[in-house]
Amino acid sequence: MGRYVIRRLLQMIPVFIGTTFIIFAMVYALGDPIAAMFGDRAPDPATLARIRAELNLDKPMVEQYVLYMGNIFSGDFGQAFNGQQVTELMGEAFPVTMRLTLVAITIEIVLGIGLGLVSGLRRGKLVDTITLIGTLVVISIPVFVIGYLAQYFLAVEWDIIDPAVSSDATFEELIVPGFVLAGLSLAYITRLTRASVAENLRADYLRTAKAKGLPRSRVIGVHLLRNSLIPVVTFIGTDVGALMGGAIVTERIFNIHGVGYQLWNGVLRGNSPTVVGFVTILVLVFLLANLLVDLLYAVLDPRIRYA
């Protein structure tokens, strides 16, 4: 196991370098950070040259990237155009988005796996049909439509929640945004669990477990569900990074000052240090989440061994 983890960590290095370099090149090569910083009021040539030298923009792209990565590993993610350190923006945004992601993941796991299990056990019954239709409806509707509908009815029409989340972004305030963020993945997890449960119901090991007279709760909870969760865990692991990076729409609708909010403002204003810094952290989160998923395979399926 230890050798496998070390090998996977080493494999992450070229992936991390490749993805961050592409992001860095796209942000800095396809736009002009200096023009985004000053807008229509361009500084005089001497000031422009000085700022370019300070930001290493006068150097080749590869050298810029190496210098940027060197600063990141020393904890310096640069300075946003408003003068605030990018690390300060991260310190404010990431805890909020992590709470939102935690709420969304919890909803996905509890409701998604629960509905999928019930639907798979009662395949072809009324509850299965309702679940399939319901998940298909959720998949068919764009996230921003679900978000605005939830905000309009729950906040404006019925006055159950506030239309915008406060700066504290408590777990209670993030329940409805969490449902909106989790909606699409919840539908996929439900369908994935249903299909996996329905397939494993016909497996030999399950018939053996029933023939041995094991209690139904143990047959379903230990043998059936445990083996059915392998593809679901894979999806949830990759979804963690997707939720954190893809919360832009949900955070904009409910005015949540998280990662998506900062990324949206960074892209809109051409704030290159903010965009590259936040995306670099998201790449790390995505890679570590995938490593965790791979390690969980051995827990769910003892047949899997790591060399």
79: which strand partners? 85
Handedness of CA 108, 110, 116, 119 (dihedral sign): negative
Instruction: Kindly state the helix (H) or strand (E) to which residue 110 belongs, with its residue range.
Output: none
Confidence class for position 114, pLDDT limits 50, 70, 90: very high
Mean pLDDT of 177-204: 90
Q: Give the pLDDT confidence of 10-45 residue by residue, as tens digits.
A: 888 888 888 888 888 887 766 666 666 676 676 677
Mean pLDDT of the chain: 84
Entry pTM: 0.82
How high is the pLDDT of residue 45?
76
- 307 pLDDT band, cuts 50/70/90, is low
Residue 214 has pLDDT above 90, yes or no: no
Q: What is the CA radius of gyration of the chain?
A: 24
Please report which confidence band the pLDDT of residue 61 belongs to, taking 50, 70 and 90 as the band edges: confident
- Average pLDDT (103-121) is 92
Residues 23/276, Cβ–Cβ less than 8 Å: yes
Cβ contact 265:271 at 8 Å: yes
DSSP code string of 47-75: HHHHHHHHTTTTS-HHHHHHHHHHHHHTT
Average pLDDT over residues 179-200: 91
pLDDT, tens only, 249-261: 888 889 898 888 8
Buried-state track 89-128, b at ≥16 Cβ within 10 A, e below 16: bbeebbebbebbbebbbebbbeebbebbbbbbbeeeeeeb
- What pLDDT was estimated at residue 272? 80
8 Å CB contact between 182 and 143: no
